[in-house]
Amino acid sequence: MALVRRSSPLTFVDVAHTGGTFGDLYELIRDWVAEDRAPWSVARTKVRFVGVTSRKKTSPNTVRWAQQQLWTSELPARSVLSVSLEPQVWSYFGDHQVKLTRSWAPSWWLAEQGGPGRDERTRTALAEAVAIVAYGRGRDGRQRIANAMAGEPALAESWLRRLRSALLSS
């Protein structure tokens, strides 16, 4: 199975509300690993799930998407992460941005992929996506992202400091 032979983990990133779609995907991966008789002890270290969430107040009483899903306890803690966005930004990406592909409910996962629409709204959304990626790849974009990180509490984490340093030096 290619998953267990990977040198680096396979990371799934999605706008997450409750994590239900990730749960469906996780069950599918578990079934494939079992069907191929691959070692789950290795496979479980080769997947990551990053839920892009709407920022909420930081409190011990705040319920996060990963806490609502039992399957997340079967993976190493570093394999299930959240990245929060301001609520308006999350709502734009999760609720309002034109999608480039159709939704993929589990019942459609084996269906033929139809590809992106060719209407004006989809072309505009694709142009927006290309512009966002180009901005993130440019020096000015990386600098502004690194500057925005400066005020984040998560900057106490070494991985974020390394990422910020890499953004500033490239």
For residue 144, being part of any structural domain is answered with no
For residue 26, being part of any structural domain is answered with yes
Structural domain including 15 reads 1-97
Q: Calculate ∠ Cα 122-10-55, nearest 5°.
A: 65
Written as tens digits, the pLDDT of the chain (170 aa) is 899 999 999 999 999 888 888 999 999 999 999 999 999 999 999 999 999 999 888 888 777 889 889 999 999 999 999 988 999 999 998 899 888 776 666 676 677 766 677 889 889 999 999 999 999 999 999 999 999 889 888 888 888 899 999 999 98
For residue 63, being part of any structural domain is answered with yes
Show the tokens assigned to 156.
């106490």
Q: How far apart are the first and last CA of the chain?
A: 36
For residue 162, being part of any structural domain is answered with no
Sequence letter at residue 64: R
Q: Model-level pTM?
A: 0.75
For residue 81, being part of any structural domain is answered with yes
Residue 124 C-alpha from the chain's centroid: 23
Q: What is the pLDDT of residue 43?
A: 96
Q: What is the pLDDT of residue 155?
A: 87
Query: Are the CB atoms for 52 and 14 separated by under 8 Å?
Result: yes
What is the tally of structural domains in the chain?
1
Q: What is the pLDDT of residue 62?
A: 79
Q: What is the pLDDT of residue 42?
A: 96
Q: What is the pLDDT of residue 40?
A: 95
Q: What is the pLDDT of residue 72?
A: 95
Q: What is the pLDDT of residue 91?
A: 94
Q: Nearest 5°: phi and psi at 89?
A: -70, -45
For residue 111, being part of any structural domain is answered with no
Show the tokens assigned to 28.
């599918």
For residue 150, being part of any structural domain is answered with no
For residue 148, being part of any structural domain is answered with no
Distance CA 74, CA 14 (A): 20
Distances (CA, A) of 127 to 92, 103, 133, 136: 16, 20, 10, 14
